[in-house]
Amino acid sequence: MDPRVIGPTESQLERWRAELEGGAERIGWKVGFNSPSAQQQAGISAPVVGYLTSTTLLPYGAHLPLDGGTRLMVEPEVAIEVGEKLQAVALAAAIEVVDVDAPFSEIEQIVEGNIFHRGFLLGDFRAGYPPPRSAAVLVNGEDRERETVESFDSAAIIALVAETLAVAGEALVPGDNILAGALTPPVEVSPGDRVGIQLDNLGMVQLLCKGGPQERTAP
DSSP state of 126: B
Task: Please report the pLDDT score of residue 211 as a whole number.
Answer: 61
Task: Please report the pLDDT score of residue 214 as a whole number.
Answer: 43
CA pseudo-torsion sign 41, 42, 46, 50: negative
The candidate with the shortest Cα–Cα distance to 147, out of 178, 186, 91, is 186
The candidate with the shortest Cα–Cα distance to 96, out of 71, 129, 127, 119, is 119
Which H or E run includes 31?
strand 26-32
CATH of domain 3-210: 3.90.850.10
The full set of domain ranges for the chain reads 3-210
Residues 6 or more apart whose CB falls under 8 angstroms from that of 5 comprise 44, 48, 107, 108, 111
pTM for the full predicted model: 0.92
3-state secondary structure of 56: helix
Instruction: Report the distance separating Cα 160 and Cα 179, nearest Å.
Output: 12
187 contacts 139 by C-beta, under 8 angstroms: yes
48 contacts 6 by C-beta, under 8 angstroms: no
Strands 203-210 and 63-65: parallel
Give start and end residues of each alpha helix (H) in the chain: 6-21, 36-42, 107-112, 154-167
Task: Please report the pLDDT score of residue 217 as a whole number.
Answer: 39
What are residue 102's DSSP bridge partners? none
Instruction: Report the distance separating Cα 33 and Cα 49, nearest Å.
Output: 9
3-state secondary structure of 5: helix
Question: pLDDT 10s per residue in the chain (219 long)?
Answer: 889 999 999 999 999 999 999 999 999 999 999 999 999 999 999 999 999 999 999 988 778 777 777 789 999 999 999 999 999 999 999 999 999 999 999 999 999 999 999 999 999 999 999 999 999 999 999 999 999 999 999 999 999 999 999 999 999 999 999 999 999 999 999 888 999 999 999 999 999 987 644 443 333
